[in-house]
Amino acid sequence: MLKGIVASVLASVLFGAIYYLSPWLQPLDGEQIFGWRVLVTLPFTSLLLLASGEGRLLRAVWQRVKAEPRLGWLLLASAAMLGVQLWLFMWAPLHGRALPVSLGYFLLPLVMVLVGRVVYGERLSPGQALATLLATVGVAYEVWRAGGLSWETWLVAVGYTLYFTLRRRLAIASLAGHWLDMALLAPVALWFTLRAPSTWPQLAEHPALWALLPLLGVVSAVALTLYMAASRWLPLGLFGLLSYVEPVLLVLVAWLLGESLQPGQWPTYALVFAAIAVLVADGASQLLRQRRRAADRISTKGGQE
């Protein structure tokens, strides 16, 4: 289990590093960085796909698309949803919008809890219900204070929820599905690097980009590998709890980049952070109860023998 925890935390650290790396890639703008991120990550993701053995699943997906052409449109929709999120992730730090995006990542698990309850009929534990209530109060306060949450926050919290819901419906293995998303985004990404003004001459004018762009690809691919490995090595509950490390790091990166909370925003963030703390405590409590029950079953079975 320890190696799973280490893998999950390292993945979150690397995702935070990508966030911090964005401003160093100037004079590229957000769209251009998005394009290059897809192009430099795809080769490494392809190697990971082949090494994992999931490459053979792509043929099965192609057979499904031929039998059901509508699936092809759903795959394009999945890629487009992910593309928007990747673009926003690279665009926000360049435009002083890292904090609103970070808030979206904090709200994302709570929105997914609500969708699980409403769409899939999943029951909320008392802790999840309390966390949802705290987050709702925080969001309501921000809506009252500022007239609404920023579009960046809504785009992350709602957009990623729709993406994960669609991915669940597509029922494609995680790494193979991610590779498909990136491969389908490649033509758009290439266009972003070639459109006027083309970024290719800028590579010659800024030699540092020759090192930074491959670094971006490697970090993205390694972060994905560690994230996928952690999802296999850890119990689902603990894996979900550790996912909260990333938005905390994104807030720290936003502060490092010079952003700060407005005085009136503190209650919103305090309530959302409190909601996350309740979810973490509730999840840890459930994990402990599960381990105790498993230990009791083992001891009971041993006693019977």
- Exposed (0-12), middle (13-18) or buried (19+): which is 235, by Cβ within 10 Å? middle
For residues 142 and 40, the model is more confident at 40
For residues 184 and 229, the model is more confident at 184
243 has a pLDDT exceeding 70: no
- What's the pLDDT at 237? 46
Locate all alpha helices (DSSP H) within the chain, ordered by sequence.
2-21, 30-52, 57-67, 70-91, 98-118, 126-146, 151-170, 174-194, 200-205, 208-233, 236-242, 245-256, 266-304
Please name the residue that has the structure tokens 């579009």: 151
| Per-residue pLDDT reduced to its tens digit, 7-52 | 888 888 898 888 888 888 888 888 888 888 899 889 988 988 888 8
> What percentage of the chain exceeds 90 in pLDDT?
12
Highest mean pLDDT among 89-98, 168-177, 198-207: 89-98
Predicted TM-score (pTM) of this structure: 0.77
Q: Which two tokens stand for residue 261?
A: 């909370």
Number of domains in the chain: 1
| Per-residue pLDDT reduced to its tens digit, 249-269 | 777 888 887 888 777 778 887
- What's the pLDDT at 71? 92
| Phi-psi category of residue 234: left, alpha or beta, with phi > 0 → left and psi -120 to 50 → alpha | beta
Please name the residue that has the structure tokens 């909601």: 275
**Average pLDDT of the chain to the nearest whole number:** 81
**What does the pLDDT average to over 135-159?**
83
Rounded Cα gap, residues 206 and 25, in angstroms? 10
What residues make up the domain containing 288?
2-304
Rounded Cα gap, residues 80 and 65, in angstroms? 18
- What's the pLDDT at 282? 78
Cα dihedral sign for 16, 182, 174, 117? positive
Instruction: Say if CB 108 and CB 160 are below 8 A apart.
Output: yes
232 has a pLDDT exceeding 70: no
Q: Which of 17, 1, 6, 5 is nearest to 221 (CA)?
A: 17
Please name the residue that has the structure tokens 């970090």: 219
236 has a pLDDT exceeding 60: no
| Per-residue pLDDT reduced to its tens digit, 52-77 | 888 888 888 989 999 998 999 999 99
Q: Give φ, ψ of 26 to 5 degrees.
A: -65, 145
**What does the pLDDT average to over 265-290?**
78
- What's the pLDDT at 191? 92
